[in-house]
Amino acid sequence: MKRIKLYHIGSQWMTEEMGSYVTNPFPEILNNADIVIECDSIFCPVNDGNMCNLLAVEHNGKIGLLTAEGSPFSSWQYIVEGTLFRYDRVALYSNISMDSDEVYAVLWEGDNWRVVKMDVSDSKSTPVLIEEKGDDDYFTPINYIPFEYRLGFGSSPFSFTPERITRLSENEIFVFGSNKEGFHRGGAARVAVDHFGAQSGVGVGRTGQCYAIPTMDGSLDLIREYVEGFRCYAYCHPELTFFVTRIGCGIAGWEDEQIAPLFSWGAFHSLANVILPREWVRLNSE
């Protein structure tokens, strides 16, 4: 992820720089733009080899989706209805075989979410509403997305671990900080026992719909070894989605700035099924 400026004129959005994620705008856009926004981060989840078909952008904690039309030197056309920077969290799903132009997106606004289907080959297409919910459900509505679709396109950094998780879908795993003895008595560990089947006495690895990572038994180097074990487990189980909580940043006393680098972009960017806290994604993208 990197910072980028978006230029707006009429119905067109264009980007400032050339690169694998972005296109180079025409001078008239640069000179006549009525809105210029410097985004905090960007993500190009769908790329047909010639240009980005879909661009996700974040500004001041809100996320917007843009889709491209025309040539590699063309504009970005916003296709999701409403204000550009609208969503709190976005999860994007592609066909596993990558032979379809259809994309599913789960879009959160506060406690509300909706599932839409988009055709990224046509920038003027309208998102088709599949399902929506307006209460305090905090789980990904994966049941409404076809089995042959997988979260992310190599990675999905605009999907963040919710601050509060009370329910999970069948294929979702709650990742929490523990101690080797498995005394799950407080914080996220208590939630893991009470709601998601974490087994007391097991301080490392998978039990129920949980995965425990010890954070109270030594140095950051030791925690790094446990995180690497988790990374390997997640790699071997692409059918599961792992919601990583702010492990070690509660009772264990570590700071986000110390733990976030253990889940670095370089190590986890290829694991679309590992969802991290928003603050860690921000720290790792600086």
Specify the pLDDT at position 244: 96
User: What's the mean pLDDT when you consider all of the chain?
Assistant: 79
Give the tens place of pLDDT for each residue, 219-244: 999 999 999 999 999 999 988 989 99
CB proximity list for 71: less than 8 A, separation 6 or greater: 51
> b/e string for 206-245 if b means 16 or more Cβ within 10 A?
bbbbbbbbbbbeeeeeebeebbeebbebbeeeeebbbbbb
CB contact at 8 A, 283 and 249: no
Specify the pLDDT at position 47: 61
Ranges of the chain whose pLDDT falls below 50: 18-22, 72-75, 80, 154
Sheet holding 102-109, edge to edge: 128-133, 112-119, 102-109, 89-95, 149-151
CB contact at 8 A, 97 and 148: yes
Q: What is the DSSP string of 250-285?
A: STT---HHHHGGGG-HHHHTT-TTEEB-HHHHHHHH
- Topology of domain 160-286, CATH: Leucine Aminopeptidase, subunit E; domain 1 (3.40.220)
Specify the pLDDT at position 176: 96
Its pTM surpasses 0.85: no
Cα 221 to Cα 242: distance, rounded to the nearest angstrom = 22
Secondary structure tally for the chain: helices H, strands E: 6, 17
What are the residue ranges spanned by the domains of the chain?
160-286
